[in-house]
Amino acid sequence: MPVRTYVDAIREAMREEMRRDRRVMVFGEDVGAKGGVFGVTEGLQKEFGEWRVMDAPLAESCIVGVSVGAALNGMRPIAEIQFQDFILPAVDQIISEAAKMRYRSAGDWNVPMVIRAPFGGGVHGALYHSQSLEAMFCHVPGLKVVVPSTPHDAKGLLVAAIRDPDPVLYFEHKKAYRSIRGEVPEGDYTVPLGTARLAREGEDIALFTYGLMVHTALEAAQRLERDGFSVEVVDLRCLRPLDRGAIVRSARRCGKVLVAQEANLAVSVASEVSAIVAEECFEYLDAPVMRIGGPEVPAMPFARPLEDFYLVGTDKLEAKLRQLARY
């Protein structure tokens, strides 16, 4: 099976779907001749032309609102927001329009659309090129939120998102683009939305996480293994809907739960996972549910020491796991 980078897997998903389905189009800033600021759409305009891979004006509400309209009239748009930090001007179109279209028309209309956006820090992007804003969309019924951690899932989840009849937000960790490699099957396959992935089996602690943090989690789990602690790592990979069954199953089996994420913790994905565990697994727990994430500051600062302080690296995650193991 060929080994590919995360970014190549995303591009392959788009290229194959565009070849398969003439309704699929890409609309975003710099997606054309430049191939996107991260090169995700490189070569697509050359193959599919200026209309199906269309450079948008620098206007995020336009990118999403036009995509909603095109979707209503039979297209399958993939809207690219250049950085997730800049999705905010489009939030009215996402939450008031795309998310509510099916519900407010009692099923008469639907919006088959994907919104892709790179998120996450560790690349010296500072406050406005590092954020993890997924939680605000996870709150909204009518949306699906996907965050792949591996090239395999990046392709399979994106194909599933494109074929989904409702709006899907697909968030790509920008530091994963070229640092994460993995096996990607040739040709057509999907990873079903709403399913978690067991990234590592374990007995003592269930560690729930997503995105680039999955790789940090696997490293930290490896370190604990040497001391005889067995950590199960669950890659949530779809944040709305959450795979409730998978969360409950791992939490009950291990009896100790840690939820890790790059975003700050208040009212977040970690909050929701913790609530599910509290509701469904109370009698099975040997320790309080623990969480680790970014500090409660507005966003990730620029300088290396500040950025390192913000991020949950392997050392911090290992320390948290040991604290939970000792409980």
Active site residues: 129
- Residues 239-278, mask of contacts with another protein (x by CB under 8 A): --x-xxxx--x-----------------------------
Helices (H) and strands (E) counted in the chain, each on its own, are: 13, 14
Of 186, 324, 221, 207, nearest in space to 274 by CA = 207
Using the contact rule CB under 8 A, the part of the chain among 12-20, 236-244, 293-301, 311-319 near another protein is 236-244
The dihedral through the CA atoms of 295, 121, 150, 147 has a sign that is positive
Classified as helix, coil or strand, 127 is coil
| Position 74 contacts another protein (CB under 8 A) | yes
Backbone region of residue 227 per phi and psi (left: phi > 0; alpha: psi in -120 to 50; beta: other values)? alpha
Beta carbon nearer to another protein, 105 or 222 = 105
| Position 169 contacts another protein (CB under 8 A) | no
Pick from 1, 141, 283, 326 the residue near another protein by CB under 8 A: 141
CA distance 46 to 29: 16
Beta carbon nearer to another protein, 141 or 228 = 141
| Closest CB 41 distance from another protein, rounded Å | 17
Strand 76-80 to 24-28 pairing: parallel
CB contact burial 142-171 (16+ within 10 A = b; e otherwise) = bbbbbbbbbbbbbbbbbbbbbbbebbbbbb
| Closest CB 22 distance from another protein, rounded Å | 9
Site for another protein in 32-51 (CB under 8 A): 51
| Position 164 contacts another protein (CB under 8 A) | yes
Backbone torsions φ then ψ of 162, nearest 5 degrees: -65, -35
| Closest CB 193 distance from another protein, rounded Å | 7
Interface residue list for another protein (CB under 8 A): 25, 51-52, 56-57, 59, 61-62, 64-75, 77, 89, 92-93, 96-97, 100-110, 141-142, 144, 160, 163-166, 191-198, 201, 241, 243-246, 249
